[in-house]
Amino acid sequence: MFKIAVLASGGGTNLQSIIDSIDNENLNCKIEMVIGSKEGIYALERAKLKGIKSYVVNKKDYGDKTSDRILELTKGKVDLIVLAGYLSILQGNILREFKDRIINIHPSLIPSFCGPKMYGLKVHEAVISSGVKYTGCTVHFVNEEVDGGAIILQEVVPVYFEDTKEELQKRVLEKEHILLPKAIDLITRNKIEIINGKTRIE
Ligand code: GRF
């Protein structure tokens, strides 16, 4: 069975979309563990409700050893690490040990509105003030560059003049919940090849 670790920092609606896809048999894998970046986030509660093992790896306790601690928990135990609304940046050995086996979902069409400090509502705020008519979400592989790894899937979402950042976030999230399980499914079925920093999907 293909095993995944899901890392989250907040409400965990993307985690829930993975749980639901597995339950509905649209995704054939097991969530081996959920790792939260702090205590008390609802993502951890979702894991608990489902009987999924969970850990907290807090930057306050682990500092620059945060990624190493996550590596310690996941090495040899999972086939893929899924960043689902995870706000810390992974660095060091974990990127080598899990090369092309870590994915992230970002709430914009990369390479726009991404990179360091572009997360959560800040992304949607920047999208709205730029005046673009379309935004979306992107699932990509994780490498040393923030939001810079090969793009796996993208989905487009319209931006309306009257949108608040919260309304736009909600519209984008609906697409995220479809896109992330779909990307995991492609990986579990070995349908993705990376060629010169681009993915070819079978
Ligand atoms: C999502 O927009 C995700 O793309 C971002 O964090 C937001 C919240 O996700 N990185 P979740 O509800 O915690 O899954």
Q: CB of 12 closer than 6 A to ligand 1?
A: yes
Beta carbon of 14 within 6 Å of any ligand 1 atom? yes
* pTM of the predicted structure, to 2 decimals: 0.96
- The answer regarding whether domain 3-104+139-152+176-201 maps to CATH 3.40.50.170 reads yes
Q: What are phi and psi of 126, to 5 degrees?
A: -65, -40
Instruction: Give the residue numbers annotated as catalytic, written as ranges.
Output: 106
| Residue nearest atom 7 in ligand 1 by C-alpha distance | 85
Average pLDDT, the chain: 97
Phi, psi of 109 (to 5 degrees): -90, 95
Q: How far does CA 135 lie from the centroid of its chain?
A: 17
Atom of ligand 1 nearest to the CA of 87: 10
173 Cβ below 6 A of ligand 1: yes
CA distances 12 to 15, 32, 116, 120, 176, Å, are: 5, 16, 21, 13, 12
Q: Are the beta carbons of 172 and 107 closer than 8 angstroms? A: yes
Q: Does the Cβ of 149 fall within 6 Å of ligand 1?
A: no
Q: pLDDT (tens digit, 0 to 9) for every residue of the chain, 202 residues total?
A: 999 999 999 999 999 999 999 999 999 999 999 999 999 999 999 999 999 999 999 999 999 999 999 999 999 999 999 999 999 999 999 999 999 999 999 999 999 999 999 999 999 999 999 999 999 999 999 999 999 999 999 999 999 999 999 999 999 999 999 999 999 999 999 999 999 999 999 9
pLDDT at position 67, please? 97
For residue 45, the Cα-to-chain-centroid distance in whole angstroms is 18
Between the CA of residue 129 and those of 31, 125, 174, 195, what are the distances in Å?
Answer: 38, 6, 22, 35
Q: 133 to each of 128, 159, 170, how far by Cα in Å? A: 9, 5, 16
Question: Ligand 1, closest atom to CA 9?
Answer: 13
Query: Residue 75: CB partners within 8 Å, gap ≥ 6?
Result: 97
The separation between the first and the last C-alpha atoms of the chain, rounded to the nearest angstrom, is 21
